[in-house]
Chain A
């Protein structure tokens, strides 16, 4: 896997495009740069078309007989339904401002990973089939026919885009490649051309409530382990509730944080914080997933998976919903949920029971981001913090793509970090906030068979971490995204091995002074609070 890829080889990047026109360059599938296709059983479970066994390296992808008609009808339908798609098909002037803004292009040099060309893959078919000028002038006007090779090319490049929207920050017309990629993936879904790393979690989530397919009794076991660890480190036994009717708040977070390091430390942070506050809240086993791999499949799938949040809130009779640290979950919750699954008229406008603060900005969806919630607690001095307990950590913060460019939640996490840690260092400004770089594994790309693409795509992020690592001795990369906590960990092991990854609420957990706790000698990971020399930082 990652170890087999030599860094020296990887950074020999050829940015000069080939002589041959891109329309004459068919796609090649090479190990490490494509994701395995979705298994038939997952398509069947989700009622998706054309379930079968196939492979991208096969000549024949076993497409439905009328595949062309399906795609063109699908395009027409989407052009009529989404102004974004239609306008973005028409107005690009190919100025190239987006070209070197994509992490996959920066880390790989493949011209089809320039956002403009990624969009042209589909725009060329649009011109050839839906515009008069394209039909008459053909290739002179940048039009081409829809062929099976085009489908293969779409599959390759729409699954080499993490829908991070960085390019859309720089586009003078706001053309959003995420929107193009989402349409491309929807069209591929009509043909049953999907990847397993997205559809398996989606199918699991549909059935069991979470991506990992954790059944309710197993979920209890996982929480037991986390609660035991918390008792071990703090001396406090926490007893959270599940599926409890009449709780004030329903808490939903990505299931990846229930068991895997380092995400589970963030989850332990939530448990500790809510316990300390005496919050009247419940977890749900039915809505046990904040993430939504529907976002990486189709708008319909977003709605089907996300319906559980409101349905469960209604069944349990809670007042409002609190959401944990996650990236794409918040793209869905913030930009899609109310529209698709609302109105949430059975809930109440969220008010923090601890501070009395009204979360005005969430008055319609009735769902509050944990960073907003915790920042408000700290501002109102409702929790006792000892930032010195994080002193061995020298921390930087990675803005996750979706909370950054689909919400703009920049100050809340920084405010929390600065209150729970003493050593915080920003990465260079072209790599943070709205210009933040993707981890390289978002939007359903974070799988091991995609390792080369991921390490290339994550290179700009890793490079900025390396910069603050060398300059300030940064040894911890914080983020508020569950996919990040998994993918950045691999990325750091490869590019900057001295830096470990953490969630924000893990840092909160370390600093949180709890009523009745024993003297803390280890952090929430069970590692000594201070290093051997008794000094605070490494």
Chain B
């Protein structure tokens, strides 16, 4: 049911620009107003969310330690999985953000006859996640070709590497294939694995389908139904120069692509996609395990009722004296 809802949502999203362009001639709306609005919502929304997170303090230093602590000098510390200083934390965060270190640990638990539990390394989720995120990033970088004149050299380099297989005309980009395959895997996994389907919300299916839609329209435009790339670049350059105008005959497919991207941008700050920002702020990962070395300050630490020694001795003084325990007051 949730899956059907998600499908309908994304199909409607794709149909809107088609109808708008084909039948209502709303190229200004879909080419200018919506992209501007989406980017504004994205920027303001992301800033708002991060400021909101940042305004909540970190009262306690609670890293999850995944290796040997720093203790005696002859015991080797695991500086990346249990950092005690800034360099270690940066290393741990870099591994986490660039390589998905924690997800790489993933295992699959199986209960066999006996009973015997087994834990096998399971890297498929990690592999799909890393393929998806890195492909997405590289594709995003490639798109900067449309945002710059002249095109910076490094974008050409990225394109050359991405297209090193040199198959077909135009050259096939590996990331295009990887992105679609990874998203498809993540979607199928969500649908097929009973546990994952059980925990999934509509809000988990929609982003996957939306991104698949973006990827698919992009691939269709590049390899099958060519659109007017010169026109696209003219539109984009106009948008970023704040002198927007929509050239004629770009092609409806492009507007579908653009609208889905705009939707993703506008949806981003209100969704789980904010994990992009949140991963930097996770207190179990971004703090050093130097708790007993350096005092961590809790800004709202307040005084509490305690049971003092004097109260304790008042209650038990006679009993303490009877067994020869020293007391403060005779």
Contact = CB atoms under 8 A, between A and B. Distances in A.
Interface of A: 11, 13, 15-17, 22, 47, 79-88, 90-97, 99-101, 106, 111, 114, 116-117, 120, 131-133, 140-142, 165, 168-176, 179, 206-209, 215-217, 220, 242-245, 285-286, 299-300, 303-304, 307-308, 311-312, 315, 333-336, 338-340, 342-343, 357, 359-365, 367, 372, 375-376, 379, 404-412, 415, 428, 430-431, 433-435, 459-460, 463-464, 467
Contact of B56 (A80, A172, A174, A360): A80
A292 B107 CA distance: 33
Nearest to A102: B109
Interface of B: 5, 49, 52-62, 64-72, 74-76, 78, 81-82, 84, 96, 100, 102-103, 105-109, 111, 115-117, 119, 125, 129, 193-196, 198-204, 270-272, 274-275, 278-279, 281-285, 289-298, 300-301, 304-309, 312-313, 315-316, 319-320, 322-323, 325-326
A170 B283 contact: no
A468 B144 CA distance: 57
B330 to A, nearest CB: 15
A100 B284 contact: no
A335 B272 contact: no
Contacts of A165: 64
Given A17-B194, A82-B57, A96-B193, 17 more contacts: A88-B282, A95-B196, A106-B111, A114-B199, A117-B198, A169-B64, A169-B102, A173-B278, A176-B62, A217-B319, A217-B323, A308-B309, A338-B296, A339-B61, A362-B292, A376-B72, A459-B115
Given A217-B320, A286-B309, A408 B203 contact: no
A207 B309 CA distance: 10
B278 A335 contact: no
A264 B191 CA distance: 53
Given A307-B304, A408-B82, A409-B69, A245 B272 contact: no
A375 B62 contact: no
Contacts of B84: 361
A83 B82 CA distance: 21
A131 B76 CA distance: 46
Nearest 7 pairs between A and B by C-beta? A91-B278, A408-B65, A408-B69, A430-B119, A174-B284, A17-B198, A174-B285
A172 B62 contact: no
A83 B65 contact: no
B200 A82 contact: no
Contact of A111 (B55, B195, B320): B195
Contacts of A428: 119
Contacts of A434: 64-67, 81
A357 B72 contact: yes
A303 B300 CA distance: 13
B295 A342 contact: yes
A79 B293 contact: no
Contact of B292 (A22, A106, A361, A379): A361
Identify the interface centre among B84, B103, B199, B305: most chain A CB within 10 Å of its CB.
B199
A235 B7 CA distance: 79
Contacts of A96: 125, 193, 195-196, 199
A365 B291 contact: yes
Given A87-B278, A96-B196, A407 B65 contact: yes
A101 B195 CA distance: 13
Contact of B274 (A90, A408, A410): A90
Given A84-B283, A94-B200, A405 B65 contact: yes
A364 B283 CA distance: 21
A215 B313 CA distance: 11
Contacts of A459: 115, 117
Given A84-B62, A93-B272, A340 B301 contact: yes
Contacts of A334: 291-292
A375 to B, nearest CB: 6
A133 to B, nearest CB: 5
A361 B272 CA distance: 38
Contacts of A174: 64, 96, 102, 279, 282-285
A142 B203 contact: yes
A90 B204 CA distance: 13
B201 A430 contact: no
B57 A83 contact: yes
A361 B70 contact: yes
11 contacts: A83-B281, A87-B53, A91-B278, A95-B103, A141-B203, A176-B62, A308-B306, A311-B306, A343-B295, A357-B72, A405-B64
A307 B305 CA distance: 10
A304 B306 CA distance: 5
A408 B279 contact: no
B305 A173 contact: no
A13 B111 contact: yes
A299 B109 CA distance: 34
B179 to A, nearest CB: 17
Contacts of B109: 100-101, 106, 460
Contacts of B56: 79-83, 85-86
Contact of A363 (B66, B204, B292): B292
Contact of A364 (B102, B295, B298): B295
A51 to B, nearest CB: 16
Nearest to A244: B326
Given A172-B103, A307-B306, A335-B60, A408 B295 contact: no
A339 B70 contact: no
Contact of A339 (B204, B298, B312): B298
A242 B325 contact: yes
Nearest to B57: A83
Nearest to A124: B201
Nearest to A463: B117
Nearest to A367: B292
Nearest to A13: B111
Nearest to B75: A411
B295 A339 contact: yes
A335 B287 CA distance: 11
B115 A463 contact: yes
Nearest to B62: A335
Contact of A216 (B53, B308, B323): B323
Contact of A11 (B76, B111, B275, B292): B111
A179 B284 CA distance: 10
A406 B305 CA distance: 27
Contacts of A101: 107, 109
A94 B193 CA distance: 13
A94 to B, nearest CB: 5
Nearest to B308: A311
A347 to B, nearest CB: 12
Contacts of B297: 339
Given A81-B56, A338-B296, A91 B62 contact: no
Contacts of A300: 304
A364 B288 CA distance: 15
A376 B74 CA distance: 9
Contacts of A22: 198-199
A170 B309 CA distance: 43
Contacts of B304: 300, 303-304, 307
